[in-house]
């Protein structure tokens, strides 16, 4: 006959192990659901039949979002006749809880022959909102006529708001958006910026902005090795 104390210890140990296994299974199930939703959201047409089981049915398709952007005058896209034109457009799930979701759409926008992207936010109950991005306003004051020497270090004198980002890219995990706007014939000068997504506000805030004003052609062989690729940080402002 097995002592009662041993039976209690065995029963407690078995129950504890079962609880642990149930917890691991539940966490695995949650992780699988999140992964399925995220992979589904990264597809160009994220509301295909395979995805409908994961996302709320009222979430607009990429095509719906593109139609909205093309008709939105603040977006300023030139390709108003190309409402069906898809160039690496996609949607990303920023957050989801049951039937409530926040979606970010990454959409192509042609503007003066430039490759720009616009980003559209959609939330359950509030609908679409075009994302705006703060950018520093600055002036480059040159000491010569060929752009090889600055009279003073550039600094932000104010801020403006943009809706189109040249070569804009969004990280599907952090939701950070970056932009690279090259200048010149060789496109070896220009601006670079990054913006962080604020979940509570449903908006983007500027996190960094740099300018590289020197092109190799203007510098010449004498200064190219010293100044080519030199960046000036306009945000955050230096203390």
Same domain, 8 and 124: yes
Given 73, 96, 129, the domain boundary residue is 129
C-alpha–C-alpha distance, residues 131 and 164, integer Å: 9
Residue-level pLDDT at 11: 41
Q: Is there a single domain that holds both residue 10 and residue 117?
A: yes
H/E element, 36: helix 4-41
Overall number of domains in the chain: 2
pLDDT value of residue 64: 93
Is the domain of 156 the same as that of 119?
A: no
Regarding whether 137 and 123 lie in a shared domain, the answer is: no
Query: Do you know the residue count of the chain?
Result: 239
CA distances from 49 to 12, 28, 96, 143 (A): 46, 24, 19, 61
169, 178 Cβ separation under 8 angstroms:
yes
125 shares its domain with 145: no
Rounded average pLDDT per 10-residue block, the chain, 239 residues? 43 47 48 44 41 74 91 76 68 94 93 83 96 96 76 92 95 97 79 97 98 70 57 88
- Parent domain of 186: 132-239
Looking at the fold, whether 115 and 149 belong to one and the same domain comes out as no
Q: Per-residue DSSP letters for 76-90?
A: --S-TT-TT--SS-E
Q: Which of 134, 73, 135 is nearest to 109 (CA)?
A: 73
């Amino acid at each position: 006959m097995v002592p009662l104390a041993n039976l209690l210890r065995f029963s407690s140990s078995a129950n504890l192990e079962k609880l642990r296994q149930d917890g691991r299974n539940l966490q695995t199930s949650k992780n699988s659901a999140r992964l399925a939703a995220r992979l589904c959201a990264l597809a160009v047409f994220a509301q295909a039949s395979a995805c409908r089981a994961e996302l709320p049915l009222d979430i607009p398709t990429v095509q719906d979002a593109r139609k909205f952007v093309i008709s939105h005058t603040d977006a300023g896209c030139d390709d108003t006749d190309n409402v069906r034109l898809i160039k690496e457009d996609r949607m990303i799930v920023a957050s989801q809880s049951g039937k409530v979701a926040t979606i970010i759409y990454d959409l192509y926008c042609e503007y003066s022959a430039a490759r720009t992207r616009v980003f559209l936010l959609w939330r359950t109950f509030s609908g679409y909102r075009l994302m705006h991005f703060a950018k520093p306003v600055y002036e480059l004051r040159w000491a010569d006529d060929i752009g090889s020497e600055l009279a003073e270090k550039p600094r932000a004198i104010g801020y403006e708001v943009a809706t189109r980002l040249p070569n804009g890219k969004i990280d599907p995990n952090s939701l950070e958006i970056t932009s690279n706007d090259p200048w010149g014939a060789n496109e070896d000068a220009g601006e670079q910026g990054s913006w962080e997504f604020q979940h509570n506000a449903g908006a983007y805030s500027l996190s960094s902005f740099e300018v590289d004003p020197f092109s190799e052609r203007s510098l010449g062989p004498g200064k190219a090795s010293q100044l080519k690729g030199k960046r000036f940080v306009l945000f955050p402002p230096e203390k």
